[in-house]
Structure 1
Amino acid sequence: MPYESGTAWQYDVPTTGSTHLHPDAGYGKALSNQGYGFEVAVADLIDNSIDAGADKVVVHFLRDADRILTLLIIDNGTGMDDAGLDAAMTVGRRRDYGEGALGMYGTGLKAASLSNASALTVISRTKRSRAAGRRLTAEGIEDSFRCDTVDQRYAQDMVDRYDGVIEWQGTVVRWDGVRAFETVARGHSEAFLSKAIARLETHLGLYLHRFLQRGLQLDIAVWDVTGAGAGFGEEVDHIAVEPLDPFGYKVPGSKGYPRTFSAPVEGVGDLTLTTHVWPARSKQAGFRQIGSLSDRQGFYFYRNDRLVQAGGWNNLRNAESHLVLARVAVDLPLVANSVFSLDVKKETVTVTPAFTSAVDKAVDAQDATFQQFLGHAETAYREGSKRSDISRKAVTPPGKGLDPAIKRVIKEELPEKPGEDPIAFTWTTLADDVFFALDRESNAVLLNKTYREDFNDGRRGGTNDAPVTKTLLYLLLEDCFGLGRWEKTRQDRVDYWNTILLASARSQRERRMRSDS
């Protein structure tokens, strides 16, 4: 119906036609300003791997003697053919997601990558298509959204190089010009990587803990491309990411927990709230090692089993020290609604007052209220604060070369000395009459590589090999680091430990040689 001037209020704005307005190249610049942190961006890419059906994912740092060169994420998912790659790299294209998918907006691959790197390369292969690749750069986007085609020989070479992960199908995502890497001064890459990998391991272990508990194999590896391994360098570090369950206590802090509450959310229906009370003073990694206890109290929202918010009360109340034991698991409803909205980075949930109002009305099967749950958490905290506890001496933390699972237990059991560099374990060439040596300037325990195979069933072993031997040495030698004056009695103790352990190592070698013969 034609619009007539002076008519009554229009509930719908009348139109007379339409045109398709293509995005300006300047839109591409917005992709690099989405505020993705490094760990959040990597997790977003791993979401794509999980959506592709991958059960094996490797986050791969490449470095040389001076610099951190690039980052790759490799998976054994279903992969993409040429058409799939073109669709995945199209800026502004939103694809249809299945009900159980982790992806939502269709921008994560590009936005997460270009927020952290100047170039994104994706190489993929399906069971029915050959390896192919596409490369997107900030300059290419400004040049009418240009996407470059990767040389097919290089694409095949990359797939072949990672045949330990990609067998018949899979994808390699490569970041070049990573901004965080370019800020690292020469000679400081080792320290940077140690801290960056620790943060990444914690983030992935927490936000993907349900997938890791169900069998997802997620590793973080570092390769030195100047090493002597098959023309591609050698692995210098390898970590298997373990799940960090924010509800993984062994005994609850209050009797009868966890408890399930039902919250009547207007427009959504009954929403399940699973309430938990952690034991006071718990040293478990899922409580202590995932961030500030104050920040980690409150709601843990999940979307399709992927954690998308780890703590916070979402305007229900303020964070308080006496509620640090209170955590609530909430699985977001799959049906679209106006009550819950998730930001593009998948780390914050925004709720309307309909949610907080429903939480106040929530009850469990025995008609207990949500406020009573908070009271139980507060009581557990106050009673725990009154208990006397044995104070354990702080230690220098363990570092590279010791299995991450062991390092996590040590952190749970012993407080760390603040500001101390971790103690690393390295196999190297030493004199025949020495089993270990101390490099106190670099905070390292040096192990005689002559005996390495003896502690690895005749094999060379990996970065985190000989876990029992290294752990016992850590417990023996930890207090030899971070000292001022080096006393003669301490040197004497190290000397006789060395003599006894050397005899043990030689005995181990003799037993292995007899069994081999």
Structure 2
Amino acid sequence: MADDWKFDVPTTGTKHLPPDARYMEALSSQGYGFEVAIADLVDNSIDAGAKDVVIHFLRDGDQLVSLLIIDDGEGMTDDGLDIAMTVGGQKHYNRQALGMFGTGLKSASLSHASAVTVVSKTKKTRPSGRRWLMERALSSFQCDIVDPHYAQTLIDRYYQCPITWQGTVIRWDGVKNFPQRGGSGQTDRYLHRTINKLGLHLGLYLHRFLAREDFNITIAVEDVSTGTEYMNFGVVPLDPFGYPVSGHPDYPRQFVADVPSVGQLGLDAHIWVPKSNLDEYRAVGSVIDRQGFYFYRHNRLVQAGGWNNFRQPEQHLSLARVAVDLPSGSEKVFRLTVKKEGVEMSPEVVSALEEAVDDQGRLFTQYLVDADTTYREARKRSGTVRKQVIPAGKGIDASVRETIEDELPILPGEDPISVRWTKLETDVFFEVDRDGRSINLNQHYRAAILGGRRGTLNDAQVVKSLMYLMLHQVFEKEYSGPREKDNLQLWQSVLVSAARAELERMTDDD
């Protein structure tokens, strides 16, 4: 039977099977996060040679209406627009291009908007445009041709800001995660939250470009009915290796791994200063997420942390970060996701890392030991030995839980303490449920704590974190003594009074 097996499958011909129009639905359902989608569009601006990119939120009073990304790149002709709006249409990228698959503009945009319009002009051509409507894309591959007069109007709107002689405008309409109702300050809260996350994401993944003097990204908000600009600020680079002083005197240090199918792979190993409060360290992600490899492709960060099956993440390696610039021709061993926010590393590379050395013959695995030791010794130098605690659980945000675990030794094998809202009598603010391992907060005062905002599982993080810090010891004892019971009653009375005062203030404001 083995002799009959063949690796070549015999065929009798070929048949052309074009994709069904529903392919567009699959293309737009790849899980693009909002910030990741915008970053993908900014990549196109960088590839077009843009010096200035503006991300423009348009609102009409309290209602968000559109989002635009404008750049002063080289622009596109009619033929260029057709290629850009064709799925997989970009066939040739230069060696340093950030684009890869020819799907980013379409999939990123239609993941978040019901319509995407692209208007562009070069120095030698008049403005022209194309539009994809998601509704039409699902039934056919018919792409709208934008009226030339409107294309000129849209270009003129951003003339000198940033477009002068050439550039591109991408317009999203029907943005899915825009607030549907703008009342009660919902739009302002959405913008504050979204723009903060967007600025951090762009600042991190494009930090090498933003560090240049000739490249800028601006985020702005404008009211189209009044022309008022509510916000206008530049995105600042967030260098994940931007520490003022190294956490270890022997680092940074470069190691080299010999990967047979690629050649020599450089590993720039860094150890952060313990307990840093810099955004470059804290704003990147959680303790678990921010350690590990930071892969760059053509100076664009494509993975921010993670060990890629080389080892498991752990608290004691939270200071370890390794910068890796992916060499050309390494696609077989480093496979990038379409969204450019992760890398799949082959077993060949994992094996090579075990043997990676620096110019003095020191193994890369010793770097991990040094990072671990730096973290542990910093804890010893603090001069205090903190008591082990029961970990925090549901209701406390993951980033807060990890900070607690970073600062306090955790009792092994203990169920975590959750913090949740529930119905209680109005004369109590909280209830300690020892058996259920839960701190219950009074639902009656939730609106006062949130200031009228909509509640979520992880809302009111400051209050919940404080309640955990105040009460975790109650769960670590078999019973409460007279002094502890008196403290609980004291906190109960003060918090009820404070919550009632907040409710009265809200009523007065109304």
TM-score, normalising length: structure 2: 0.73
Distance 1:185 1:387 in 2: 51
Tell me the amino acid that sits aligned with residue 209 of structure 2.
Answer: F
Deviation of the 1:59 alpha carbon? 0.5
1:63-99 CA-to-partner distances (Å, cap 9, x unmatched) read 1222111110000000001111111111243421111
1:302-351 CA-to-partner distances (Å, cap 9, x unmatched) read 01100000000001111111110000000112114421100100001001
Distance 1:268 1:374 in 2: 24
Q: Is this contact kept in 1: 2:88–2:101, CA < 8 A?
A: no
Deviation of the 1:62 alpha carbon? 0.5
Q: Percent identity?
A: 56
Deviation of the 1:143 alpha carbon? 3.5
Q: Is this contact kept in 1: 2:307–2:313, CA < 8 A?
A: yes
1:354-393 matched pairs, under 5 angstroms: 354-388=348-382
- The corresponding residue for 2:217 is 218
- The corresponding residue for 1:54 is 50
- The corresponding residue for 1:153 is 149
Distance change in 2, residues 1:302/1:321 (3 Å):
same
- The corresponding residue for 1:250 is 244
Q: Is this contact kept in 2: 1:91–1:145, CA < 8 A?
A: no
Tell me the amino acid that sits aligned with residue 210 of structure 2.
Answer: L
Tell me whether 1:321 sits opposite 2:320 in the alignment.
no
Aligned counterpart for 2:129 among listed residues 113, 129, 133:
133
**Matched position secondary structure for 2:14:** coil
- The corresponding residue for 2:140 is 144
1:273-314 CA-to-partner distances (Å, cap 9, x unmatched) read 000000111111110111112210000000110000000000
Aligned counterpart for 1:178 among listed residues 165, 175, 179:
175
Distance change in 2, residues 1:120/1:358 (3 Å):
same
Tell me whether 1:83 sits opposite 2:82 in the alignment.
no
**Matched position secondary structure for 1:363:** coil
Distance 1:64 1:389 in 2: 56
1:19-418 matched pairs, under 5 angstroms: 19-163=15-159, 164-183=161-180, 185-187=182-184, 188-215=186-213, 216-227=215-226, 233-388=227-382
Deviation of the 1:185 alpha carbon? 4.8
Deviation of the 1:134 alpha carbon? 0.5
Q: Is this contact kept in 2: 1:287–1:293, CA < 8 A?
A: no
Q: Is this contact kept in 2: 1:268–1:337, CA < 8 A?
A: no
Distance 2:4 2:381 in 1: 73
Tell me the amino acid that sits aligned with residue 167 of structure 1.
Answer: T
**Matched position secondary structure for 1:382:** helix
- The corresponding residue for 2:390 is none
Q: Is this contact kept in 2: 1:261–1:370, CA < 8 A?
A: yes
- The corresponding residue for 2:465 is none
**Matched position secondary structure for 2:177:** helix
Deviation of the 1:484 alpha carbon? 5.8
Deviation of the 1:9 alpha carbon? 4.4
Deviation of the 1:20 alpha carbon? 2.2
Tell me the amino acid that sits aligned with residue 361 of structure 1.
Answer: E
Distance 1:196 1:376 in 2: 38
Deviation of the 1:16 alpha carbon? 3.0
Tell me the amino acid that sits aligned with residue 151 of structure 1.
Answer: D
TM-score, normalising length: structure 1: 0.72
Q: Is this contact kept in 2: 1:75–1:170, CA < 8 A?
A: yes
**Matched position secondary structure for 2:178:** helix
Select between 102-111 and 212-221 the one with higher mean Cα deviation: 212-221
Q: Is this contact kept in 2: 1:63–1:225, CA < 8 A?
A: yes
Tell me the amino acid that sits aligned with residue 177 of structure 1.
Answer: G
Distance 2:179 2:88 in 1: 28
Distance 2:239 2:249 in 1: 20
Count of matched residue pairs: 390
Distance 2:4 2:272 in 1: 62
- The corresponding residue for 1:406 is none
Select between 105-114 and 265-274 the one with higher mean Cα deviation: 265-274
Tell me the amino acid that sits aligned with residue 262 of structure 2.
Answer: V
Tell me the amino acid that sits aligned with residue 46 of structure 1.
Answer: V
Distance change in 2, residues 1:13/1:205 (3 Å):
same
1:143-179 CA-to-partner distances (Å, cap 9, x unmatched) read 4211111111111111111012000000000111110
What 5-or-longer segments of structure 1 have no aligned partner? 1-6, 228-232, 391-440, 444-482, 486-517
Tell me the amino acid that sits aligned with residue 198 of structure 1.
Answer: N
1:110-149 CA-to-partner distances (Å, cap 9, x unmatched) read 0000011110100000001001111001122134211111
Distance 2:220 2:451 in 1: 22
Distance 1:362 1:300 in 2: 17
Tell me the amino acid that sits aligned with residue 165 of structure 2.
Answer: W
- The corresponding residue for 2:484 is none
Distance 2:183 2:150 in 1: 29
**Matched position secondary structure for 1:279:** coil
Distance 2:300 2:349 in 1: 20
1:5-24 matched pairs, under 5 angstroms: 9-24=5-20
Tell me the amino acid that sits aligned with residue 219 of structure 2.
Answer: I
**Matched position secondary structure for 2:209:** helix
Distance 1:256 1:142 in 2: 57
Distance 1:237 1:185 in 2: 17
